Amino acid sequence: MSLDLAAVRYRYAGSMSVALGPLDLSLEPGQVVGVAGANESGKTTLCLAASGMAPAVVGGHLDGAVEIDGVAASTLRPHELAQRCGLLFQRAATQLTHTTATVFEEVGFGPCNLSLARDDVVARVWWALAALGIEDLAPRDPTRLSGGQGQLVALAAVLALRPKYLILDEPTSELDPAGTGLVADGLVRAARETGAGILLVEHKTDVLARIADRMIVLDRGGVALAGPAAAVLGDDRLVELGVEPPARVRLARDLRAAGLDLTPDLAGALE
């Protein structure tokens, strides 16, 4: 059981150049794979390809295979994909329907689309809100939330479809530090509570350091670095690839550059 990309290459409609690939990737339930890379390195394209949205919804041409638990994504319709592989975008505002009066109904929008029994919808909504620890937001107007709260509600709305895999495309990119902290806490909680496999594209490597098990760094559509998150985030080539290392890695480097000897315990804690 896994989400697998094998020799995937993707071209957007009307473009001659390859935006992604060749690329191989595997994501198992319960695992968090972080993705970093400079702008235009193919991160969003990876999200679209892994979730089956590309080419099914956005068009273009995909070579190779994307399989979700052994089923080719190309054979699944968008609503079937949505129940296997949830997709979250950067901006909360564009993901909310703007047609619901409360967060509860907003989160229930997806399950309602599946024509589930009302009790089932209600159970899913409470479960999704509880998984992120945002039950207290349930009565609020979804259009009157902070950026971080809005993003968590959008994530809860995706979770309510009970996907086995979550693809998160820079969920904190438009958030201030407080909002980023809120969403990062929610992601840690979601990873623990839902058992879903998470593919997390993120510029903020501190968030990745906190949550990711494995990481890949993309460069011009291909994988430039891959491995355990701690090793990748401590790799010296990260800066060359347009990715800022986490604060603790930078601190350790600055301390060494200043001529300080770090004790093994401190070095381990920082790196």
- The binding site for other proteins (CB under 8 A) comprises 29-32, 48, 51, 53, 57-58, 77-79, 81-83, 86-89, 91, 94-95, 97-102, 104-105, 108-124, 126-127, 138-139, 154, 157-158, 161-162, 164, 188, 191-196, 211, 213
Comparison of 192 and 237: residue with beta carbon closer to other proteins: 192
11 versus 164: smaller Cβ distance to other proteins: 164
The nearer residue to other proteins, 148 or 163, going by C-beta atoms, is 163
Length of the chain measured in residues: 271
DSSP 188-218: HHHHHHH--EEEEE-S-HHHHHHH-SEEEEE
Could you tell me the two tokens for 125?
Answer: 């909504």
- For the bound state, the minimum distance from the C-beta of residue 94 to other proteins, rounded and expressed in Å, comes to 4
CB of 119 to other proteins, least distance (A): 5
- For residue 72, count CB atoms less than 10 angstroms from its CB and return exposed for 0-12, middle for 13-18, buried for 19 or more: exposed
Please identify, using beta-carbon distances, which residue of 40 and 80 lies nearer to other proteins: 80
> Considering the complex, what minimum distance in angstroms separates the CB of residue 108 from other proteins?
6
Q: Between 147-159 and 103-113, two packed helices, what is the crossing angle to 10 degrees?
A: 30
Distance in angstroms (rounded) separating the CA atoms of residues 228 and 224: 14
Least distance (Å) between residue 270 CB and other proteins:
19
User: What residues have CB less than 8 Å from 41, skipping those under 6 apart?
Assistant: 218, 219, 220, 221, 241, 242
User: Sheet holding 20-27: strands in order across?
Assistant: 20-27, 3-11, 61-68, 71-72
Residue placing its CB nearer to other proteins in the complex, 15 or 113: 113
Nearest distance from residue 143's CB to other proteins, in Å? 8
